[in-house]
Chains A and B, each alone.
Chain A
Amino acid sequence: MRGLEGRVAVVTGGGRGIGAAVCRRLAEEGAAVAVLDLDPEPAAQVARTLPGAGAYAADAGDRAEVEDVVRRVLARHGRIDVLVPCAGVMRGAPVTEMTDQNWTEVLTSHLTGAFTAVRAVTPAMTAQGYGRIVLISSIAARGIAGHVNYGTAKAGIAGMARSLALELGPHGVTVNAVAPGFIATRMTREGAERRGRTWEEHAAQAAAGIALRRIGTPEDVAAVVAFLAGADAGYVTGQVIHVSGDP
């Protein structure tokens, strides 16, 4: 039997990058996956290839839209066992040039988005007495120049994991986070463009600074998310696991 057979997972930002890899991995292990993304087309593409999956177009930062998706998932599957909120954008700028909009877009998509999804699925998880929430932080939580909005949001995610682990542990719900390092996705490709570098230069420079001497793949992160979503991590809660090829 596969580890997540019979489980139902909700993944936000599931249309691309890390979120899409998480959807594929959870489905491989047997879960029915709800693929939520702002962009309907990539979400539909991911869902089409996965048995039992469904695509849901919604803004992760919008409470009404997220709660509506959760209602539809519960109506279809009757339960939600796993939540992985991956949605979010980067809007870097030096602090004096950072606009309110830059700040709000990043804080809303990552931090409010994760909170909103957690709040929406928690009643189902506590009623079941079982749940696995895996948040996406980043090594940027340690500090990232030129992205105070993002660094703040990702440090907030780590705090969210710890507070929720304390609150939901007694109800059988574990809450952890992964903190990816440099992963090849649209997000990091845009970083190369912003710096006027080719992707190859950008990736090679990043790899040189990583102990394992390579950049990460969305699958590297998805494998760790799947561990935290499964039975093997039943006694792990409130943790932030660094998936960065580096101490």
Chain B
Amino acid sequence: MIVQEFHGAVAVVTGAGSGIGHGVVTALAARGAQVVAADLDPAGLPEAPGIRTVTADVTSPGDVRRVFAAADSLGGADLLVNAAGIAVTRPLLEHTDDDWDRVLAVNLKGSFLCLREAARTMTARRRGSVVNVSSIVSIIASPTPEIAYDASKGGVSQLTRSAAAELGPHGVRVNAVAPGPVPTALYGPPAGAVARNIPLGRLGTVEDIVAPILFLCSTAAAWITGHVLVVDGGRVLR
């Protein structure tokens, strides 16, 4: 039996149509939360009782307001998980202005827009927990060239700390997970090579990342804020 530890909570999850975001939505719903599941691409959005789907672009302030209006109609967001993200992998000299702008817009500005919208309700009610999805490439240099992506994740980690300091006195916690490589639509690992660099000897799974995200959402993490929790099987130690 799964404990209904999020019973009565309203959660907003972005990037909910695929990978980590999708996993977070189903896990939160299974534990009793009402979830507003938002994605630019509605195709993969999970359909189940307790889940309200919204097609939305996190780079659009209007779309973000619509997402949180859906949460308001359920009583207001208690939890926000910012999992929408894109990556561009190509050498720095080949990164176009548009590559840079798109990646920063989705990963960093999108996280900020959702955080700001969530913070309105959360600070007013003096409760709430936000979990951003950063990456280990905010800590170590990526082995593949993805300069805009890495910079965006560095931004997400610092957004997390600064927001935690500012929102803490209002009862709102802000944390992040920093996953290592997890096979999803966003990341197709080159065979073999990667797992050898990981002390636990394997790549991550969506479930490996989802469980720590739920932990940071939960009351078990009531006194954790501004923390970027690395979930990587020990990869950054190498």
Contact = CB atoms under 8 A, between A and B. Distances in A.
Interface of A: 162, 165-166, 169-170, 172, 174, 181, 210-213, 216-217, 220-221, 223-224, 226-227, 231-239, 241-247
A241 B215 CA distance: 12
Contacts of A217: 223
A231 to B, nearest CB: 7
A227 B215 contact: yes
B225 A247 contact: yes
B6 to A, nearest CB: 14
Given A220-B222, A223-B221, A213 B211 contact: no
Nearest to A220: B223
Contact of B226 (A232, A235, A239, A247): A247
A220 B231 CA distance: 21
B224 A242 contact: yes
B199 A243 contact: no
B173 A212 contact: yes
A163 to B, nearest CB: 9
B50 interface: no
B199 A166 contact: yes
Interface stretch (B18-26, B41-49, B161-169): B161-169
21 contacts: A166-B199, A170-B200, A170-B201, A174-B200, A210-B168, A211-B167, A211-B225, A212-B223, A217-B223, A223-B219, A224-B221, A232-B214, A235-B209, A235-B212, A242-B227, A243-B224, A247-B161, A247-B164, A247-B168, A247-B226, A247-B227
A232 B237 contact: no
Given A170-B199, A170-B201, A244-B223, A165 B212 contact: no
B32 interface: no
Nearest to A227: B215
A242 B214 CA distance: 17
B234 A165 contact: yes
Contact of B229 (A172, A174, A239, A247): A239
A233 B200 CA distance: 12
Interface size class of B (residues with CB under 8 A): 35 or more
B223 A213 contact: no
A26 B106 CA distance: 40
Contacts of A165: 199, 234, 237
B109 to A, nearest CB: 21
Contact of B233 (A162, A169, A226, A231): A169
B227 A238 contact: no
A166 B169 CA distance: 37
A211 B201 contact: no
B87 to A, nearest CB: 20
A232 B211 contact: yes
A169 B233 CA distance: 8
A236 B231 contact: yes
A169 B235 CA distance: 11
A169 B234 CA distance: 8
